[in-house]
């Protein structure tokens, strides 16, 4: 018997309409865990580097994490992996909600889509009954609307539905997949779903998920719940409120937005408004949020309340979480009332809440600067808010200028030319980033931004405090019960870290320490993504209930796979390397690994070079970011080394500068 996982994947060939239930190899679980790990293995094995995002040979994989469907609190992530139309690299966006556990109860760990359906369909999974069904009546429907329509039509109120909106159907490069209060937004995976002709996947399951050592596993879960309770009652002192507790940043709960509105950038990630937050704004925005918010809600089996149901007057109710509360407001230089209203439409269309507002602000900047002209915006209203609604409508329908903007700021700028690329200034690896522009280089964040292959900072950072405490008392207080650290050396780094002087940024933590910190933070995220754990209870917040010391027990007692910290660390390294291998085979190199030029005002080129050199070495990669033969063999990834060899990847010259423009040219 298989524990925690079901041991079966659903393979659906949309071109031929063929559906198969395929048993998986338990050895793969041991090596790559599940979720992201086994997704990466499948993509490496089956999707060649020549395969484009919109090729029928591209796969779209919906995976339930290894521990989803078990009682582990907060374990509910669906990891969606494919090739991104925007970055042309591997995309692995995730969503919370209720879909992944339901898939397990239906008897599957993954749904793997290949080929393309000739017409719009939806997939119905009800235990052993799996059907591809006509979805022509759902064409053009909103992503939230579609979920409701399908549940009603099928008379299955308990079914969980993942759906795309108009943006996905029209292959917008930042289209999302929406499900309940959650969405898998980054990397344009909704566009791949639309390209495959799949409007929605409906899941209903009533089967058992089995545990290897039931009573012992339950005790671990109870300990986690107890610790969550403790952390909820004991927020971390001396940090801003959104960093003090567990869960996603509690944007639905808090009213005080001084920090975000005055430190994050407005417009096309351009303007800092240092005195924005005042009593009048606070009063108005608090009133808006109080009226809009019906209830704070959560994902499956989680006591937190990171999301909310939002009802704006005259608009259908929708669900929201985290920072999308402010992205539209700030891109449009408007108010919260506007932000919450346009987010309703954007959620129905199914677009990423980071990229979409930025793309629209970028377009208006191009108009202001004469790179685009009024002719490109014919019919656009003159009022500020109206412009954004108009642009959103054009983008998701790919009408006029919207057709170009639908490819995101990087590709739109390439197409528009005429200096437009200077305005696509907030991308990493062609993907829009948080609107942050800061003063002095932070070496830890430099490494995370540069080398992160999630290409989204919030899903790489966590664990280690973002800034030092000014007094030794505060630092001692923090490290005293900081048992989540993999090694006590991290406590010492924190104790020695000063806001100013010799032991302060950018020279302290030292390069070596930065490597350790970044590696730890990244590792925890990768483990979460294989197990299906919400990073809000694990890799993202300070002092989380899940950590490197209790995770091995969860895996041994839950899935029945013998595990310890070292073996788990090696597994995470293995599939993290596979993600990199996929991207390397797709042309990613050192030259692509850099934060936006203007992310920090004060840069330190020599230090940055040293950071990257050292981190690459630390990770077992060569100086161009390619995993070395020796490291691959050590990780049991000899087959990757062979493929690299065959493809001549190792025989490329070591000098990164000589191929500065190669990917740009080959993708044009």
Partner 1 sequence: MKDEKKKKIVKSIRINVDKCNGCRACEVVCSAFHSNPKYSSNNPARSRIRVIRDPLADIFVPVYAGEYAVAECAGRDKYTIDGKEYDECAFCRASCPSRDLFKEPDSGLPLKCDMCESDPTLERPLCVEWCLNDALIFEEREVDDEDDVKQEELEIGLESLANKYGIQKLAEIIAKMSESKKG
654: Cβ contacts below 8 Å, ≥ 6 apart:
622, 623, 624
Which structure tokens are listed for 363?
Answer: 């377009």
Nearer to partner 1, 213 or 622 (CB): 213
Nearer to partner 1, 96 or 187 (CB): 96
CA pair distance 349, 664, nearest whole angstrom: 30
Nearer to partner 1, 143 or 588 (CB): 143
Question: Least distance to partner 1 from the beta carbon of 3, Å?
Answer: 10
Question: Least distance to partner 1 from the beta carbon of 245, Å?
Answer: 13
Nearer to partner 1, 231 or 394 (CB): 231
CA dist 448 to 59, 594, 612, Å?
27, 9, 10
CA dist 508 to 55, 238, 625, Å?
47, 21, 24
CA pair distance 524, 547, nearest whole angstrom: 7
Nearer to partner 1, 106 or 330 (CB): 106
Nearer to partner 1, 70 or 442 (CB): 70
Question: Least distance to partner 1 from the beta carbon of 299, Å?
Answer: 7
**Helix orientation angle between 511-531 and 443-451, rounded to the nearest 10 degrees:** 50
Question: Least distance to partner 1 from the beta carbon of 20, Å?
Answer: 24
For the beta sheet containing 8-13, the strands, ordered from the edge strand earlier in sequence to the opposite edge, are 18-23, 8-13, 110-114, 60-64, 78-83, 90-95
| Cβ atoms of 536 and 543 closer than 8 Å | no
Nearer to partner 1, 350 or 506 (CB): 350
Nearer to partner 1, 225 or 239 (CB): 225
Nearer to partner 1, 31 or 297 (CB): 297
CA dist 266 to 47, 274, 344, 359, 621, Å?
39, 11, 20, 13, 37
426: Cβ contacts below 8 Å, ≥ 6 apart:
268, 269, 358, 409, 432, 433, 435, 596
CA dist 386 to 292, 350, 352, Å?
21, 19, 20
Which structure tokens are listed for 468?
Answer: 């030092």
Question: Least distance to partner 1 from the beta carbon of 546, Å?
Answer: 16
| Cβ atoms of 221 and 71 closer than 8 Å | yes
Nearer to partner 1, 207 or 491 (CB): 207
Question: Least distance to partner 1 from the beta carbon of 103, Å?
Answer: 13
Question: Least distance to partner 1 from the beta carbon of 66, Å?
Answer: 14
Q: Which residues pair with 163 in a beta bridge?
A: 178, 200
Nearer to partner 1, 317 or 645 (CB): 317
Q: Which of 66, 104, 105 is nearest to 530 (CA)?
A: 66
Nearer to partner 1, 307 or 625 (CB): 307
Q: Which residues pair with 377 in a beta bridge?
A: none
Question: Least distance to partner 1 from the beta carbon of 205, Å?
Answer: 8
Residue with structure tokens 């809600």?
297
CA pair distance 500, 276, nearest whole angstrom: 28
Question: Least distance to partner 1 from the beta carbon of 102, Å?
Answer: 9
Question: Least distance to partner 1 from the beta carbon of 310, Å?
Answer: 10
3-state secondary structure of 202: strand
Half-sphere exposure for 139 (CA within 13 Å, toward CB) = 10
Question: Least distance to partner 1 from the beta carbon of 209, Å?
Answer: 5
Nearer to partner 1, 1 or 648 (CB): 1
Question: Least distance to partner 1 from the beta carbon of 346, Å?
Answer: 17
Q: Beta strand pairing status for 121-126 and 198-204?
A: parallel
Number of residues that make up the chain: 668
Which structure tokens are listed for 94?
Answer: 């995730």
**Helix orientation angle between 511-531 and 605-619, rounded to the nearest 10 degrees:** 50
Question: Least distance to partner 1 from the beta carbon of 137, Å?
Answer: 20
Question: Least distance to partner 1 from the beta carbon of 101, Å?
Answer: 8
Q: Which of 5, 12, 421 is nearest to 209 (CA)?
A: 5
CA pair distance 586, 44, nearest whole angstrom: 11
Question: Least distance to partner 1 from the beta carbon of 220, Å?
Answer: 11
Supply the Cα-derived Rg of the chain in whole angstroms.
Answer: 24
Residue with structure tokens 């900072």?
457
Nearer to partner 1, 302 or 413 (CB): 302
CA dist 387 to 50, 240, 381, 416, 594, Å?
39, 34, 6, 20, 32
CA pair distance 243, 342, nearest whole angstrom: 27
Q: Which of 238, 240, 262 is nearest to 249 (CA)?
A: 240
Nearer to partner 1, 9 or 147 (CB): 147
Kindly tell me the burial class for residue 438, based on how many C-beta atoms sit within 10 Å of its own C-beta (0-12, 13-18, 19 or more).
middle
Residues near partner 1 (CB under 8 A) are 69-71, 73, 98, 105, 144, 148, 157, 180-181, 205-211, 214-215, 217-218, 225, 228-229, 232, 294-305, 309, 316-319
Nearer to partner 1, 144 or 289 (CB): 144
Question: Least distance to partner 1 from the beta carbon of 593, Å?
Answer: 39
């Amino acid at each position: 018997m298989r524990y925690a996982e079901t041991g079966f994947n659903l393979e659906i060939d949309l071109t031929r309409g063929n559906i198969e239930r395929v048993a998986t190899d338990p050895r793969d679980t041991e090596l790559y865990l599940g979720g992201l790990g086994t997704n990466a293995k499948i993509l490496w094995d089956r999707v060649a580097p020549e395969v484009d995002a919109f090729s029928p040979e591209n796969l779209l994989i919906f995976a339930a994490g290894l521990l989803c469907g078990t009682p582990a609190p907060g374990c509910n992530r669906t990891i969606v992996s494919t090739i991104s139309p925007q970055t042309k690299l591997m995309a692995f966006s995730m969503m919370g909600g209720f879909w992944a556990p339901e898939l397990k109860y239906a008897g599957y760990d993954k749904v793997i889509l290949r080929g393309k359906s000739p017409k719009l369909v939806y997939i119905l999974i009800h235990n052993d009954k799996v059907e591809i069904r006509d979805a022509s009546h759902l064409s053009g429907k909103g992503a939230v609307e579609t979920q409701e329509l399908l549940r009603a039509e099928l008379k299955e109120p308990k079914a969980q539905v993942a759906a795309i909106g108009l943006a996905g159907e029209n292959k917008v490069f930042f289209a999302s997949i929406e499900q309940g209060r959650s969405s898998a937004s980054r990397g344009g995976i909704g566009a791949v779903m639309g390209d495959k002709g799949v409007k929605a996947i409906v899941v209903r399951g009533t089967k058992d998920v089995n545990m290897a050592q039931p009573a012992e596993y339950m005790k671990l879960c109870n300990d986690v719940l107890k610790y969550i309770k403790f952390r909820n009652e004991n927020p971390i002192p001396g940090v801003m409120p959104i960093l003090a507790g567990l869960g996603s940043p509690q944007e639905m709960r808090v009213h005080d937005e001084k920090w975000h509105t005055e430190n994050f950038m407005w417009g096309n990630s351009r303007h800092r408004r240092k005195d924005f937050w005042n009593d009048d704004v606070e009063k108005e925005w608090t009133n808006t949020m109080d009226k809009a918010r019906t209830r704070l809600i959560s994902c499956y089996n989680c006591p937190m309340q990171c999301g909310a149901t939002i009802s704006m007057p005259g608009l259908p109710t929708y669900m929201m979480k985290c920072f999308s509360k402010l992205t539209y407001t700030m891109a449009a230089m408007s108010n919260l009332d506007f932000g919450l209203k346009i987010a309703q439409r954007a959620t129905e269309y199914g677009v990423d809440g980071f990229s979409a507002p930025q793309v629209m602000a970028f377009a208006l900047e191009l108009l202001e600067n004469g790179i685009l002209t009024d002719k490109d915006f014919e019919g656009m209203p003159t009022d500020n808010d109206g412009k954004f609604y108009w642009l959103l409508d054009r983008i998701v329908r790919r009408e006029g200028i919207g057709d170009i903007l639908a490819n995101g700021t990087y590709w739109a700028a390439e197409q528009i030319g005429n200096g437009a690329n200077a305005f696509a200034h907030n991308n990493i690896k062609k993907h829009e980033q948080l609107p942050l522009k800061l003063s002095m280089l932070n070496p830890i964040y430099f490494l995370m931004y540069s080398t992160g292959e999630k290409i989204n900072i919030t899903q790489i950072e966590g664990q280690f405090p973002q800034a030092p405490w000014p007094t030794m008392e505060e630092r001692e207080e923090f490290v005293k019960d900081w048992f989540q650290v993999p090694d006590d050396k991290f406590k010492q780094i924190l104790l020695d870290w000063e806001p100013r002087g010799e032991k302060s940024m950018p020279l302290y933590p030292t390069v070596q320490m930065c490597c350790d910190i970044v590696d730890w933070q990244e590792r925890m995220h990768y483990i979460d993504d294989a197990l299906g754990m919400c990073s809000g209870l694990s890799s993202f917040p300070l002092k989380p209930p899940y950590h490197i010391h209790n995770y091995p027990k969860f895996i041994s007692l839950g899935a029945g796979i013998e595990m310890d910290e070292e073996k788990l660390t090696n597994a995470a390294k293995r599939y993290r390397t596979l993600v990199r291998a996929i991207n390397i085979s797709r042309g990613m190199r050192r030259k692509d690994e850099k934060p936006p030029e203007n992310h920090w005002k004060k840069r330190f080129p020599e230090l940055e070079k040293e950071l990257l050199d050292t981190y690459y070495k630390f990770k077992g990669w060569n100086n161009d970011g390619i995993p070395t033969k020796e490291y691959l063999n050590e990780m049991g990834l000899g087959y990757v080394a062979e493929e690299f060899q065959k493809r001549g990847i190792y025989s490329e010259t070591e000098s990164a500068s000589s191929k500065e423009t190669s990917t740009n040219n080959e993708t044009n």
